[in-house]
Structure 1
Amino acid sequence: MPFAIRRRLLLGAAVLGALFSFGAAAQTSYPSKPVRLVVPYPPGAATDAISRAFAQQLGTIMGQPVVVENRPGAGSAIGITAVKSRPADGYTLLVHAEGFYSAKFTTPGAGYEFSDFEILAPLGQSSYAFIVPADRGWNSLQDLKGLNREMDIGIADLGVGTYSTLAARLASGLHTQYRPIPFKGGAEGLTAILGSQIDGYFTTIGTTQSVKDNPHVKVLAYTGRPGSASHLPGVKTFAELGVPDMVFHSSYSVAVRADTPEAVKTQLAAFVRQAVTSEAMDKARRDLYLDNYTGSLDDYKRELMQLADEFKASAKGRKEE
């Protein structure tokens, strides 16, 4: 082989080797500094609690601190856009929930698109209980079917989101009418129920634990799948009680900027999966009355997009009113 050709081949091999070594080094050097986990909700709720449990476990696995940053507001759009504004380098993660979709539909000008983020793994899910004031005399869902007046049902969203979706599904399933009563947050809705100011409210299973034995409240059903563990002894699912379109879960997951380099994203995804399947996270979910998602990641993403489509239809309906 002529010397010139052999030299070019050797140089080409050297360049390829250097590129391979650089890529490997880039992958194995991640993470080299603390990671930020943005929670677009206020401290204290289940979303925040499971995020902090995850952050602690992920930090242990990665060998770097994972700092939780609460950025609530605008239905979660403030926290989401904060992550979008930071470099796509794997050092800023987002806690992803339904607000990711509803905030975009209620505020179309929010500075992000669904395609800007990629979900890495679910953290947990919560079903909802439907509670009513005890003084209404309603002891079962049958008492609400065909009610000859509007039900005042509290909602904690802007008319597009979890609470509005559940209220609309319930009214349809019971063949009755409802009037949405807006609240700024879950605590206000609970106070209204305890004070008998509204007819009904949906609360996460974790929140329901604090009122399920209160004599002023009656828990009528919950939105879990038939046969699931309700964490509410004696309370059945809507589906088991003849309202099948009420299977619903709030889902919390971890997402990263979609344009994060693949080598970093791959390694980060491995760290995240290890953290979410750990015994520590299993315990955190039990303590917070959350369920683990047992399907595939593709199934999980597909279910969320179906919910997003439902939110989109609700937003369109509101504009046409």
Structure 2
Amino acid sequence: MFANSMRGKARVVSLILASMAVMGLSASVSAQGSFPDRTIRMVVPYPPGGSTDNLARVFTQELAKATSMPVIVDNKPGGGTTVGALNVKNAPADGYSLLFQVDGLFNGKLSSPTIPYEIEDFEIIAPLSQTPYALLTPAGLNIRSLDDLKAHAQKNNGELTIGTLGIGVSSYSIMGNALAAALDVKPVFIPYKGGAQGVNALMAGEVDVYFATVGLTRTLEGNDRVNILATTGNPGNNKFLEGVPSFVDLGVEDLQFLSLYGVAVRSDTPKPIKDKLRQTLNEVTVSDAMKKSREQVSLEDYPGTLDDYKKDAEKNIQMYKDAYAKEKTAN
């Protein structure tokens, strides 16, 4: 009798547990199926007011229209982009916290390996845009070609002074080293706090060259104190800088570098939610409002697929890894 009673209770408990599991699974599936049903947060790892922040705000407005849900911009600047990345990493993996990511996401991790996140903790789910850089020289040096630039360096102990944004490994140092290698000269890096300071230093003759964003370069068109030699973009003239060739066009294959903009989510976000986000974000990306916003800040539409974007991101990551390995060996 006692044994039968215990077996009966055990069956009841098993049924209750099984029912709870089914209810939990049903709730999870239901939550995924109704996604989104509340406010989505777009974390921007930069201060308000910059071009990246402005692009993100237009994007969130369009995303709100597409989802019929509120979407807010949550600026989390600091530590390069690591503060914003950590904020998303520590948020629930439910698709309601998105990261407006640029290349700084992986550079921050590579520069500071102890930061408590891994590049693999995030998955890019929507490519937004890309942009190359333009190589500028002071007009006073009368440098019109890469041959002129090499000759100038050779007259100055084989050294080329290159302005950079900040110190250490960055897209600027990567491009500067590639340029110096192509010309077979020694790079001498001189850091500046901002792009405008770098350009002003160039015009003042403090440095021989400076890599500027296309957006900044466009503000200099017609300025008789600056020459624009080439861009680090894809072959063919840049749509925003007519008549300016790429380094690839000039035969320098190793000087192709494009900063990538995209939206990332925690990689362990449930697949149905990622799929839904991916579809919606792609629709927003090609909207007229986003195209206009990219034009305003001189960003190119990303021409490929999401898989292409991920491959390009991997190329950039490898360039940063190689640069850090080289720096470590040199020290």
Q: Is the shorter-chain TM-score for this pair beyond 0.5, marking a shared fold?
A: yes
Q: List aligned pairs for 1:78-97, cutoff 5 A.
A: 78-97=83-102
Check conservation: 1:105, 1:160, Cα contact below 8 A.
no
SS at structure 2 position matched to 1:120:
strand
Q: Which amino acid aligns with 1:77?
A: T
After superposition, give the CA deviation of every residue in 1:153-192 in whole Å (9 maximum; x if it has no partner). 1111442221111111111112222111112222221221
Q: What is the CA-CA distance between 1:243 and the residue it aligns to?
A: 1.7
RMSD: 2.5
- Among 78, 83, 86, which residue is 1:73 paired with? 78
Deviation at 1:19, TM superposition (A): 7.2
1:46/1:206 contact within 8 Å kept? no
Tell me if structure 1 keeps the 8 A contact 2:165–2:194: yes
1:201 to 210, 216, 221: 210
Which AA in structure 2 matches 1:173?
A
Secondary structure of the corresponding residue to residue 245 of structure 1: coil
Alpha carbons 2:237, 2:244 under 8 Å: kept: no
Structure 2 stretches lacking a partner, 5+ long = 1-18
Query: TM-score, structure 1 length as denominator?
Result: 0.89
CA shift for structure 1 position 254: 0.1
Contact 1:26 1:263 in 2 (8 A): no
Name which one, 1 or 2, has greater alpha-carbon Rg: 2
**Which residue in the other structure is 1:127 paired with?**
132
Q: Supply the distance in 2 between the matched residues of 1:73 and 1:181 (Cα, whole angstroms).
A: 23
1:177 aligns with 2:193: no
**Which one of the candidate residues 138, 146, 150 is aligned to 2:143?**
138
Q: Give 2:328's aligned amino acid.
A: K
Q: Quick check: 1:42 aligned with 2:42? A: no
Deviation of residue 25 (structure 1)? 2.6
Q: Say if 2:226 is the partner of 1:217.
A: yes
Displacement of 1:220 after TM fit?
Answer: 0.9
What is the match of residue 175 of structure 2? 166
Q: Percent identity?
A: 41
The answer to whether residue 287 in structure 2 is matched with residue 282 in structure 1 is no
Specify every segment of 5 or more residues in structure 1 that has no aligned partner in the other structure, as ranges. Answer: 1-13
* 1:4-48: CA deviation from partner (whole Å, max 9, x where unpaired): xxxxxxxxxx99996786455312432222211111123344322
- What do the CA deviations read for 1:58-116 (whole angstroms, capped 9, x no partner)? 11111122211222222211211122122222111111111112111111111210111
Secondary structure of the residue aligned to 1:74 is coil
Given that residues 27 and 267 in structure 1 are in contact (C-alpha distance below 8 angstroms), is that contact kept between their aligned partners in structure 2? Answer: no
* Local SS of the residue matching 1:244: coil
Q: Distance in 2 between matches of 1:287 and 1:113?
A: 33
Number of the residue aligned with 1:308: 317
TM norm structure 2: 0.86
CA distance in 2 between counterparts of 1:311 and 1:104 reads 10
Question: Are 1:190 and 2:195 matched, yes or no?
Answer: no
Pairing partner for 1:246 from 255, 276, 279? 255
Following TM superposition, where does structure 1 have runs of at least 4 consecutive aligned residues deviating by more than 6 angstroms? 14-20
**Contact in 1 for aligned 2:76/2:84 (Cα 8 Å):** yes
Cα deviation per residue 1:196-215 (whole Å; 9 max; x = unaligned)? Answer: 22211111111111112212
**Cα distance change, pair 295–308 in 1 and its aligned pair in 2 (3 A):** same
